[in-house]
Structure 1
Amino acid sequence: MLITGGSKGIGAEIVKQALEQDAYVILQYNSNSPSQIGEFSPDRVLTIQSDFMKIEAPSKLWHTALQWKGHIDVLINNAGILEYTNPADNLEDWQNTWHRTLQVNLVAVADLCKEAINYFKHNKKSGVIVNVSSRAAFRGYGPDGMAYAASKAGVVALTRSIARAYARDHIFSYTVAPGITETDMVTTFKNKYGDKVLEKAREDMPTNDFATPQEVARAILFLSTGDMKHSTGMTFDIVGAADFH
Protein backbone atom coordinates (compact mmCIF):
# COMPACT_ATOMS: atom_id res chain seq x y z
CA MET A 1 0.00 0.00 0.00
CA LEU A 2 1.08 3.54 -0.78
CA ILE A 3 -0.48 5.79 1.87
CA THR A 4 -0.07 9.55 1.63
CA GLY A 5 -0.25 11.85 4.62
CA GLY A 6 0.58 8.93 6.88
CA SER A 7 2.41 10.64 9.72
CA LYS A 8 -0.48 11.96 11.80
CA GLY A 9 -4.24 11.94 12.30
CA ILE A 10 -6.28 9.64 10.10
CA GLY A 11 -3.25 8.75 8.00
CA ALA A 12 -1.22 7.58 10.98
CA GLU A 13 -4.07 5.32 12.02
CA ILE A 14 -4.41 3.90 8.49
CA VAL A 15 -0.71 3.04 8.54
CA LYS A 16 -0.94 1.49 12.00
CA GLN A 17 -3.91 -0.71 11.15
CA ALA A 18 -2.48 -1.68 7.76
CA LEU A 19 0.76 -2.85 9.36
CA GLU A 20 -1.20 -4.76 12.00
CA GLN A 21 -2.96 -6.53 9.12
CA ASP A 22 0.42 -7.57 7.68
CA ALA A 23 0.44 -5.14 4.77
CA TYR A 24 3.64 -3.68 3.40
CA VAL A 25 3.33 0.08 3.59
CA ILE A 26 4.97 3.00 1.83
CA LEU A 27 4.25 6.02 4.02
CA GLN A 28 4.46 9.47 2.46
CA TYR A 29 4.80 12.49 4.71
CA ASN A 30 5.78 16.10 4.25
CA SER A 31 6.70 18.13 7.33
CA ASN A 32 5.70 15.80 10.18
CA SER A 33 8.11 12.91 10.55
CA PRO A 34 6.21 9.70 11.42
CA SER A 35 6.63 8.40 14.96
CA GLN A 36 4.13 5.52 15.12
CA ILE A 37 6.09 2.88 13.18
CA GLY A 38 8.98 2.16 15.54
CA GLU A 39 7.83 -1.33 16.49
CA PHE A 40 7.62 -2.53 12.89
CA SER A 41 10.48 -3.97 10.86
CA PRO A 42 12.03 -1.72 8.17
CA ASP A 43 11.14 -4.55 5.79
CA ARG A 44 7.46 -3.79 6.41
CA VAL A 45 7.36 -0.02 6.06
CA LEU A 46 9.19 2.53 3.95
CA THR A 47 8.90 6.25 4.73
CA ILE A 48 9.34 8.85 2.00
CA GLN A 49 9.34 12.62 2.47
CA SER A 50 7.55 14.34 -0.40
CA ASP A 51 6.16 17.86 -0.71
CA PHE A 52 3.06 17.88 -2.89
CA MET A 53 3.36 21.64 -3.39
CA LYS A 54 6.01 20.68 -5.95
CA ILE A 55 4.29 19.60 -9.13
CA GLU A 56 6.79 16.83 -9.89
CA ALA A 57 6.55 15.29 -6.39
CA PRO A 58 3.61 12.84 -6.84
CA SER A 59 5.11 11.14 -9.88
CA LYS A 60 8.52 10.89 -8.23
CA LEU A 61 6.91 9.44 -5.11
CA TRP A 62 5.09 6.76 -7.09
CA HIS A 63 8.21 5.58 -8.90
CA THR A 64 10.32 5.59 -5.74
CA ALA A 65 7.62 3.62 -3.91
CA LEU A 66 7.35 1.14 -6.75
CA GLN A 67 11.05 0.31 -6.58
CA TRP A 68 10.83 -0.83 -2.96
CA LYS A 69 8.99 -4.14 -3.42
CA GLY A 70 8.49 -4.04 -7.18
CA HIS A 71 4.72 -3.66 -7.10
CA ILE A 72 1.90 -1.63 -5.54
CA ASP A 73 -1.60 -3.01 -5.05
CA VAL A 74 -3.39 -0.19 -3.23
CA LEU A 75 -3.14 3.60 -3.37
CA ILE A 76 -4.65 5.58 -0.49
CA ASN A 77 -4.72 9.32 -1.11
CA ASN A 78 -5.11 10.76 2.36
CA ALA A 79 -2.79 13.79 2.33
CA GLY A 80 -4.46 17.18 2.35
CA ILE A 81 -4.27 20.73 3.65
CA LEU A 82 -6.81 23.18 5.02
CA GLU A 83 -5.92 26.85 4.59
CA TYR A 84 -8.36 29.67 5.20
CA THR A 85 -9.17 32.55 2.88
CA ASN A 86 -12.37 34.39 2.01
CA PRO A 87 -13.58 36.86 -0.60
CA ALA A 88 -12.71 39.81 1.67
CA ASP A 89 -8.99 38.99 1.40
CA ASN A 90 -6.76 40.65 -1.15
CA LEU A 91 -6.60 38.94 -4.53
CA GLU A 92 -3.03 37.67 -4.18
CA ASP A 93 -3.69 35.92 -0.85
CA TRP A 94 -6.97 34.52 -2.17
CA GLN A 95 -5.39 33.10 -5.34
CA ASN A 96 -2.32 31.72 -3.57
CA THR A 97 -4.49 29.84 -1.09
CA TRP A 98 -6.62 28.42 -3.89
CA HIS A 99 -3.56 27.35 -5.89
CA ARG A 100 -1.89 25.65 -2.91
CA THR A 101 -5.10 23.92 -1.86
CA LEU A 102 -5.95 22.62 -5.30
CA GLN A 103 -2.36 21.50 -5.92
CA VAL A 104 -2.15 19.39 -2.76
CA ASN A 105 -5.76 18.27 -2.36
CA LEU A 106 -6.70 17.61 -5.98
CA VAL A 107 -3.90 17.86 -8.55
CA ALA A 108 -1.46 15.72 -6.55
CA VAL A 109 -4.25 13.18 -5.97
CA ALA A 110 -5.00 13.12 -9.71
CA ASP A 111 -1.31 12.70 -10.55
CA LEU A 112 -0.97 9.71 -8.23
CA CYS A 113 -4.19 8.22 -9.62
CA LYS A 114 -2.77 8.64 -13.13
CA GLU A 115 0.38 6.73 -12.17
CA ALA A 116 -1.63 3.99 -10.48
CA ILE A 117 -4.04 3.56 -13.40
CA ASN A 118 -1.24 3.30 -15.94
CA TYR A 119 0.67 0.85 -13.75
CA PHE A 120 -2.36 -1.38 -13.12
CA LYS A 121 -3.33 -1.37 -16.81
CA HIS A 122 0.19 -2.00 -18.10
CA ASN A 123 0.64 -4.94 -15.76
CA LYS A 124 -2.87 -6.29 -16.42
CA LYS A 125 -3.55 -6.56 -12.71
CA SER A 126 -6.37 -5.37 -10.52
CA GLY A 127 -5.82 -2.42 -8.23
CA VAL A 128 -7.61 -0.32 -5.65
CA ILE A 129 -7.59 3.44 -5.15
CA VAL A 130 -9.16 5.01 -2.06
CA ASN A 131 -9.36 8.80 -2.02
CA VAL A 132 -10.13 10.69 1.18
CA SER A 133 -12.53 13.56 0.63
CA SER A 134 -14.66 15.39 3.20
CA ARG A 135 -18.20 16.13 4.27
CA ALA A 136 -17.42 19.64 3.01
CA ALA A 137 -17.50 18.33 -0.56
CA PHE A 138 -21.28 18.03 -0.27
CA ARG A 139 -22.35 20.73 2.18
CA GLY A 140 -19.64 23.35 1.63
CA TYR A 141 -17.49 24.92 4.32
CA GLY A 142 -18.47 28.56 4.56
CA PRO A 143 -16.63 31.65 3.32
CA ASP A 144 -13.28 30.74 4.87
CA GLY A 145 -13.06 27.23 3.43
CA MET A 146 -14.36 27.50 -0.12
CA ALA A 147 -11.08 26.31 -1.60
CA TYR A 148 -10.98 23.28 0.66
CA ALA A 149 -14.59 22.30 -0.08
CA ALA A 150 -14.08 22.74 -3.83
CA SER A 151 -10.92 20.64 -3.81
CA LYS A 152 -12.63 17.83 -1.92
CA ALA A 153 -15.63 17.93 -4.28
CA GLY A 154 -13.15 17.52 -7.12
CA VAL A 155 -11.81 14.39 -5.45
CA VAL A 156 -15.30 12.88 -5.48
CA ALA A 157 -15.75 13.59 -9.19
CA LEU A 158 -12.27 12.24 -9.95
CA THR A 159 -13.01 9.00 -8.10
CA ARG A 160 -16.32 8.50 -9.91
CA SER A 161 -14.66 9.15 -13.27
CA ILE A 162 -12.00 6.53 -12.56
CA ALA A 163 -14.66 4.01 -11.58
CA ARG A 164 -16.65 4.52 -14.77
CA ALA A 165 -13.61 4.48 -17.01
CA TYR A 166 -11.61 1.60 -15.56
CA ALA A 167 -13.91 -0.89 -13.82
CA ARG A 168 -13.59 -3.16 -16.88
CA ASP A 169 -9.83 -3.14 -16.24
CA HIS A 170 -10.43 -4.31 -12.66
CA ILE A 171 -9.33 -0.97 -11.25
CA PHE A 172 -11.68 0.01 -8.45
CA SER A 173 -11.88 3.44 -6.82
CA TYR A 174 -13.70 4.68 -3.75
CA THR A 175 -14.13 7.89 -1.81
CA VAL A 176 -14.29 8.10 1.97
CA ALA A 177 -15.77 11.39 3.21
CA PRO A 178 -15.36 12.00 6.95
CA GLY A 179 -16.92 14.88 8.80
CA ILE A 180 -15.19 16.42 11.80
CA THR A 181 -12.87 13.77 13.19
CA GLU A 182 -11.09 13.64 16.55
CA THR A 183 -7.71 14.74 15.23
CA ASP A 184 -5.79 18.02 15.05
CA MET A 185 -8.71 19.13 12.86
CA VAL A 186 -10.84 19.56 15.99
CA THR A 187 -8.20 21.81 17.56
CA THR A 188 -7.91 23.84 14.35
CA PHE A 189 -11.69 24.18 14.13
CA LYS A 190 -11.90 25.18 17.80
CA ASN A 191 -9.14 27.77 17.49
CA LYS A 192 -10.76 29.23 14.39
CA TYR A 193 -14.40 29.31 15.45
CA GLY A 194 -14.43 28.85 19.26
CA ASP A 195 -15.91 26.38 21.73
CA LYS A 196 -19.53 27.29 21.09
CA VAL A 197 -19.35 26.63 17.36
CA LEU A 198 -17.55 23.34 17.97
CA GLU A 199 -20.17 22.21 20.45
CA LYS A 200 -22.96 23.25 18.07
CA ALA A 201 -21.32 21.11 15.38
CA ARG A 202 -21.25 18.19 17.82
CA GLU A 203 -24.90 18.68 18.76
CA ASP A 204 -25.84 18.66 15.07
CA MET A 205 -24.55 15.10 14.86
CA PRO A 206 -27.33 12.60 15.64
CA THR A 207 -24.67 10.38 17.18
CA ASN A 208 -23.69 13.37 19.41
CA ASP A 209 -20.00 12.81 18.84
CA PHE A 210 -17.33 13.06 16.17
CA ALA A 211 -15.74 10.19 14.30
CA THR A 212 -12.43 8.77 15.46
CA PRO A 213 -9.39 8.16 13.27
CA GLN A 214 -9.73 4.47 14.10
CA GLU A 215 -13.24 4.28 12.61
CA VAL A 216 -12.24 6.15 9.45
CA ALA A 217 -9.15 3.97 9.00
CA ARG A 218 -11.21 0.79 9.35
CA ALA A 219 -13.53 1.92 6.55
CA ILE A 220 -10.62 2.80 4.27
CA LEU A 221 -8.85 -0.51 4.82
CA PHE A 222 -12.07 -2.45 4.28
CA LEU A 223 -12.43 -0.80 0.88
CA SER A 224 -8.77 -1.48 0.17
CA THR A 225 -9.41 -5.22 0.13
CA GLY A 226 -11.02 -4.96 -3.31
CA ASP A 227 -13.96 -7.05 -2.11
CA MET A 228 -16.47 -4.27 -2.84
CA LYS A 229 -16.23 -4.42 -6.64
CA HIS A 230 -19.81 -3.35 -7.25
CA SER A 231 -19.45 -0.32 -5.02
CA THR A 232 -16.68 1.18 -7.13
CA GLY A 233 -17.15 4.92 -7.51
CA MET A 234 -19.21 5.20 -4.35
CA THR A 235 -18.66 7.67 -1.56
CA PHE A 236 -18.70 6.30 1.98
CA ASP A 237 -19.77 9.00 4.45
CA ILE A 238 -18.56 8.94 8.03
CA VAL A 239 -20.67 11.76 9.45
CA GLY A 240 -22.78 10.29 12.24
CA ALA A 241 -26.05 10.51 10.23
CA ALA A 242 -25.69 14.30 9.94
CA ASP A 243 -26.02 14.24 6.14
CA PHE A 244 -27.22 11.91 3.42
CA HIS A 245 -26.85 12.28 -0.34
Structure 2
Amino acid sequence: MSNKKIHILVTGASRGIGKAIIESLDQDNATVVGQSTKGGDRLIASDFTQDGAASGLWDEALDRLDGRIDVLINNAGLFQPNPVAADDWLESWNRTMTINLTVSAELCRLAVLHFQQRDKPGRIVNIASRAAYRGDGPDYWHYAASKGGMVAMTKTIARAYAHQQILAFAICPGFTMTGMAEDYLASRGGDKLLADIPLGRVAQPEEIASMARYCALDAPASMTGAVLDANGASYVR
Protein backbone atom coordinates (compact mmCIF):
# COMPACT_ATOMS: atom_id res chain seq x y z
CA MET A 1 0.00 0.00 0.00
CA SER A 2 1.10 3.66 -0.22
CA ASN A 3 3.60 5.38 2.07
CA LYS A 4 0.96 7.60 3.68
CA LYS A 5 -0.57 6.62 6.99
CA ILE A 6 -2.99 3.71 6.60
CA HIS A 7 -6.23 4.25 8.53
CA ILE A 8 -7.61 1.05 10.05
CA LEU A 9 -10.74 0.14 12.02
CA VAL A 10 -10.62 -3.06 14.13
CA THR A 11 -13.69 -4.46 15.88
CA GLY A 12 -13.55 -6.59 19.03
CA ALA A 13 -10.29 -4.93 19.99
CA SER A 14 -10.29 -4.89 23.80
CA ARG A 15 -8.65 -8.29 24.28
CA GLY A 16 -7.46 -11.47 22.62
CA ILE A 17 -6.99 -11.44 18.87
CA GLY A 18 -8.30 -7.91 18.39
CA LYS A 19 -5.96 -6.41 20.96
CA ALA A 20 -3.06 -8.35 19.44
CA ILE A 21 -3.98 -7.01 15.99
CA ILE A 22 -3.83 -3.41 17.19
CA GLU A 23 -0.49 -4.06 18.91
CA SER A 24 0.91 -5.64 15.75
CA LEU A 25 -0.11 -2.61 13.69
CA ASP A 26 1.49 -0.14 16.10
CA GLN A 27 4.89 -0.88 14.60
CA ASP A 28 3.69 0.09 11.12
CA ASN A 29 2.82 3.28 9.29
CA ALA A 30 -0.78 2.97 10.45
CA THR A 31 -3.33 4.88 12.49
CA VAL A 32 -5.70 2.46 14.20
CA VAL A 33 -8.94 2.81 16.12
CA GLY A 34 -10.74 -0.12 17.67
CA GLN A 35 -14.18 -1.03 18.92
CA SER A 36 -15.32 -2.69 22.10
CA THR A 37 -18.58 -2.78 23.97
CA LYS A 38 -17.30 -0.55 26.77
CA GLY A 39 -14.72 1.52 24.90
CA GLY A 40 -11.34 2.57 26.28
CA ASP A 41 -7.98 3.85 25.11
CA ARG A 42 -8.24 4.15 21.31
CA LEU A 43 -11.46 2.13 21.53
CA ILE A 44 -14.89 3.36 20.49
CA ALA A 45 -17.72 2.10 22.69
CA SER A 46 -20.28 0.31 20.53
CA ASP A 47 -22.74 -2.39 21.62
CA PHE A 48 -23.39 -4.57 18.58
CA THR A 49 -26.66 -5.88 20.02
CA GLN A 50 -28.18 -2.41 19.60
CA ASP A 51 -29.87 -1.19 16.42
CA GLY A 52 -27.73 1.26 14.50
CA ALA A 53 -24.50 0.21 16.21
CA ALA A 54 -22.63 -0.48 12.98
CA SER A 55 -23.40 2.83 11.33
CA GLY A 56 -22.74 4.73 14.56
CA LEU A 57 -19.36 3.04 14.93
CA TRP A 58 -18.47 3.73 11.30
CA ASP A 59 -19.33 7.41 11.60
CA GLU A 60 -17.34 7.87 14.80
CA ALA A 61 -14.37 5.99 13.34
CA LEU A 62 -14.45 8.29 10.31
CA ASP A 63 -14.43 11.30 12.63
CA ARG A 64 -11.40 9.96 14.49
CA LEU A 65 -9.61 9.03 11.27
CA ASP A 66 -10.05 12.33 9.46
CA GLY A 67 -12.81 11.06 7.18
CA ARG A 68 -10.85 8.15 5.70
CA ILE A 69 -10.78 4.43 6.45
CA ASP A 70 -8.50 2.28 4.31
CA VAL A 71 -8.84 -1.09 6.03
CA LEU A 72 -11.66 -2.72 7.98
CA ILE A 73 -10.84 -5.69 10.20
CA ASN A 74 -13.94 -7.49 11.51
CA ASN A 75 -12.87 -9.43 14.59
CA ALA A 76 -15.74 -9.00 17.07
CA GLY A 77 -17.42 -12.28 17.87
CA LEU A 78 -19.61 -14.09 20.37
CA PHE A 79 -18.95 -17.71 21.36
CA GLN A 80 -21.52 -18.89 23.88
CA PRO A 81 -23.23 -22.30 24.16
CA ASN A 82 -26.79 -22.68 22.94
CA PRO A 83 -28.11 -26.16 23.81
CA VAL A 84 -30.67 -27.42 21.34
CA ALA A 85 -33.25 -27.89 24.11
CA ALA A 86 -32.82 -24.39 25.55
CA ASP A 87 -35.99 -22.35 25.88
CA ASP A 88 -34.21 -19.27 24.56
CA TRP A 89 -32.57 -21.11 21.64
CA LEU A 90 -33.82 -18.71 18.96
CA GLU A 91 -32.92 -15.64 20.99
CA SER A 92 -29.38 -16.96 21.45
CA TRP A 93 -29.17 -17.85 17.74
CA ASN A 94 -30.22 -14.34 16.72
CA ARG A 95 -27.85 -12.65 19.16
CA THR A 96 -24.86 -14.60 17.84
CA MET A 97 -25.85 -14.00 14.22
CA THR A 98 -26.23 -10.28 14.89
CA ILE A 99 -22.82 -9.86 16.49
CA ASN A 100 -20.83 -12.34 14.39
CA LEU A 101 -22.36 -11.85 10.95
CA THR A 102 -24.96 -9.11 10.55
CA VAL A 103 -22.89 -6.29 12.06
CA SER A 104 -19.84 -7.50 10.13
CA ALA A 105 -21.91 -7.41 6.95
CA GLU A 106 -23.15 -3.89 7.73
CA LEU A 107 -19.59 -2.70 8.27
CA CYS A 108 -18.41 -4.43 5.08
CA ARG A 109 -21.18 -2.67 3.18
CA LEU A 110 -20.22 0.70 4.62
CA ALA A 111 -16.57 0.03 3.81
CA VAL A 112 -17.31 -0.91 0.20
CA LEU A 113 -19.44 2.20 -0.28
CA HIS A 114 -16.73 4.35 1.30
CA PHE A 115 -14.02 2.88 -0.92
CA GLN A 116 -16.22 3.37 -3.99
CA GLN A 117 -17.10 6.96 -3.11
CA ARG A 118 -13.43 7.81 -2.65
CA ASP A 119 -12.50 5.82 -5.76
CA LYS A 120 -9.53 4.45 -3.83
CA PRO A 121 -8.32 0.93 -3.01
CA GLY A 122 -9.49 -0.60 0.24
CA ARG A 123 -9.17 -3.83 2.16
CA ILE A 124 -11.45 -5.92 4.34
CA VAL A 125 -10.14 -8.64 6.65
CA ASN A 126 -12.73 -10.88 8.31
CA ILE A 127 -11.75 -13.10 11.24
CA ALA A 128 -13.89 -16.21 10.80
CA SER A 129 -13.20 -19.66 12.27
CA ARG A 130 -12.27 -23.25 11.56
CA ALA A 131 -15.92 -23.93 12.44
CA ALA A 132 -16.92 -22.38 9.11
CA TYR A 133 -15.67 -25.58 7.43
CA ARG A 134 -15.42 -28.24 10.11
CA GLY A 135 -18.53 -27.29 12.05
CA ASP A 136 -18.55 -27.18 15.84
CA GLY A 137 -20.01 -28.92 18.88
CA PRO A 138 -23.73 -29.64 19.35
CA ASP A 139 -24.22 -26.45 21.38
CA TYR A 140 -22.63 -24.24 18.73
CA TRP A 141 -24.74 -24.49 15.57
CA HIS A 142 -25.16 -20.72 15.62
CA TYR A 143 -21.44 -20.01 15.89
CA ALA A 144 -20.49 -22.32 13.03
CA ALA A 145 -23.27 -20.96 10.83
CA SER A 146 -22.27 -17.35 11.50
CA LYS A 147 -18.65 -18.02 10.59
CA GLY A 148 -19.62 -19.99 7.50
CA GLY A 149 -21.65 -16.98 6.42
CA MET A 150 -18.69 -14.68 7.03
CA VAL A 151 -16.46 -16.76 4.76
CA ALA A 152 -19.07 -16.83 1.99
CA MET A 153 -19.56 -13.08 2.33
CA THR A 154 -15.81 -12.47 2.10
CA LYS A 155 -15.51 -14.51 -1.08
CA THR A 156 -18.47 -12.68 -2.61
CA ILE A 157 -17.01 -9.26 -1.82
CA ALA A 158 -13.68 -10.30 -3.30
CA ARG A 159 -15.28 -11.50 -6.53
CA ALA A 160 -17.63 -8.54 -6.83
CA TYR A 161 -15.21 -5.66 -6.29
CA ALA A 162 -11.70 -6.80 -7.21
CA HIS A 163 -11.93 -4.73 -10.40
CA GLN A 164 -12.24 -1.65 -8.17
CA GLN A 165 -9.19 -2.68 -6.09
CA ILE A 166 -11.42 -3.51 -3.14
CA LEU A 167 -9.81 -6.60 -1.64
CA ALA A 168 -11.21 -9.05 0.90
CA PHE A 169 -9.60 -11.80 2.95
CA ALA A 170 -10.81 -14.24 5.61
CA ILE A 171 -8.78 -15.84 8.38
CA CYS A 172 -10.04 -19.04 9.99
CA PRO A 173 -8.37 -19.76 13.34
CA GLY A 174 -8.93 -22.91 15.29
CA PHE A 175 -8.76 -22.65 19.07
CA THR A 176 -6.82 -19.54 20.02
CA MET A 177 -5.67 -18.76 23.54
CA THR A 178 -8.16 -16.05 24.37
CA GLY A 179 -10.46 -15.87 27.37
CA MET A 180 -13.31 -17.17 25.19
CA ALA A 181 -11.39 -20.29 24.12
CA GLU A 182 -9.81 -20.89 27.52
CA ASP A 183 -13.23 -21.22 29.14
CA TYR A 184 -14.36 -23.65 26.46
CA LEU A 185 -11.23 -25.78 26.71
CA ALA A 186 -11.60 -26.00 30.46
CA SER A 187 -15.27 -26.99 30.23
CA ARG A 188 -14.63 -29.73 27.66
CA GLY A 189 -11.43 -31.22 29.06
CA GLY A 190 -8.48 -29.45 27.51
CA ASP A 191 -6.20 -32.47 27.08
CA LYS A 192 -8.75 -34.33 24.96
CA LEU A 193 -9.28 -31.38 22.66
CA LEU A 194 -5.56 -30.69 22.38
CA ALA A 195 -5.03 -34.29 21.30
CA ASP A 196 -6.99 -33.44 18.15
CA ILE A 197 -4.46 -30.75 17.20
CA PRO A 198 -1.36 -32.27 15.56
CA LEU A 199 0.69 -29.19 16.48
CA GLY A 200 -0.01 -30.03 20.11
CA ARG A 201 -1.16 -26.58 21.17
CA VAL A 202 -3.72 -23.93 20.36
CA ALA A 203 -2.81 -20.78 18.45
CA GLN A 204 -1.63 -17.64 20.17
CA PRO A 205 -3.40 -14.33 19.49
CA GLU A 206 -0.16 -12.90 18.14
CA GLU A 207 -0.08 -15.57 15.44
CA ILE A 208 -3.52 -14.65 14.16
CA ALA A 209 -2.65 -10.96 14.46
CA SER A 210 0.39 -11.43 12.23
CA MET A 211 -1.85 -12.93 9.55
CA ALA A 212 -4.37 -10.10 9.85
CA ARG A 213 -1.59 -7.53 9.62
CA TYR A 214 -0.26 -9.19 6.47
CA CYS A 215 -3.68 -9.19 4.82
CA ALA A 216 -4.31 -5.59 5.85
CA LEU A 217 -0.99 -4.17 4.66
CA ASP A 218 1.14 -6.46 2.55
CA ALA A 219 -0.82 -9.23 0.84
CA PRO A 220 -0.67 -8.93 -2.96
CA ALA A 221 -3.86 -7.95 -4.73
CA SER A 222 -3.99 -11.31 -6.49
CA MET A 223 -4.58 -12.94 -3.11
CA THR A 224 -8.01 -11.34 -2.73
CA GLY A 225 -10.66 -13.89 -1.82
CA ALA A 226 -8.17 -16.07 0.03
CA VAL A 227 -9.21 -17.92 3.17
CA LEU A 228 -6.27 -18.56 5.47
CA ASP A 229 -6.31 -21.38 8.02
CA ALA A 230 -4.54 -21.34 11.38
CA ASN A 231 -5.58 -24.43 13.31
CA GLY A 232 -2.44 -26.48 13.94
CA ALA A 233 -3.50 -28.94 11.19
CA SER A 234 -6.58 -29.96 13.17
CA TYR A 235 -8.60 -29.44 10.00
CA VAL A 236 -6.87 -29.48 6.64
CA ARG A 237 -8.91 -28.56 3.58
Distance 2:218 2:201 in 1: 30
Which residue does the alignment assign to 1:40? Answer: none
Task: Read off the aligned partner of 1:210 and give its amino acid letter.
Answer: V
Q: Secondary structure at the match of 2:148?
A: helix
Per-residue deviation at 1:182?
Answer: 1.2
Distance 2:151 2:101 in 1: 10
Per-residue deviation at 1:225?
Answer: 1.2
Distance 1:19 1:192 in 2: 35
Distance 1:154 1:199 in 2: 30
Per-residue deviation at 1:99?
Answer: 0.6
Verify: 1:83 aligned to 2:80, yes or no.
yes
Per-residue deviation at 1:65?
Answer: 0.7
Verify: 1:217 aligned to 2:209, yes or no.
yes
Which residue does the alignment assign to 2:18? Answer: 11
- Cα offsets for 1:53-99 (capped at 9, x unmatched): 11300111111111222211100000011121122222xx0000011
State which of 171, 184, 189 in structure 2 corresponds to 1:189: 184
- Cα offsets for 1:129-158 (capped at 9, x unmatched): 000000111111121011011001000000
Which residue does the alignment assign to 1:160? Answer: 155
The total of aligned residue pairs comes to 229
Contact 1:55 1:108 in 2 (8 A): no
Task: Read off the aligned partner of 1:237 and give its amino acid letter.
Answer: D
RMSD: 1.3
- Structure 1's unaligned 5+ residue stretches are 38-45
Which residue does the alignment assign to 1:74? Answer: 71
Task: Read off the aligned partner of 2:115 and give its amino acid letter.
Answer: F
- Cα offsets for 1:12-32 (capped at 9, x unmatched): 10011111224111111114x
Verify: 1:52 aligned to 2:71, yes or no.
no
Distance 2:187 2:171 in 1: 25
Verify: 1:30 aligned to 2:30, yes or no.
no
Written as runs of structure 1 = structure 2, the 5 A alignment for 1:163-174 is 163-174=158-169
Per-residue deviation at 1:183?
Answer: 1.3
Contact 1:181 1:213 in 2 (8 A): yes
Task: Read off the aligned partner of 1:65 and give its amino acid letter.
Answer: A
Distance 2:155 2:233 in 1: 22
Verify: 1:147 aligned to 2:139, yes or no.
no
Which residue does the alignment assign to 1:63? Answer: 59
Distance 2:67 2:181 in 1: 38
TM-score, normalised to structure 2, is 0.93
Which residue does the alignment assign to 2:125? Answer: 130
Per-residue deviation at 1:185?
Answer: 2.6
- Cα offsets for 1:193-242 (capped at 9, x unmatched): 2x3xx212212111111110111000000010153211211110001112
- Structure 2's unaligned 5+ residue stretches are 1-7
Q: Secondary structure at the match of 1:242?
A: coil
TM-score, normalised to structure 1, is 0.90
Identity of aligned residues (%): 40
Distance 1:137 1:226 in 2: 25
Task: Read off the aligned partner of 2:46 and give its amino acid letter.
Answer: S
Q: Secondary structure at the match of 1:71?
A: coil
Runs of 4+ in 1 over 6 A off after TM superposition: none
Distance 2:57 2:163 in 1: 27
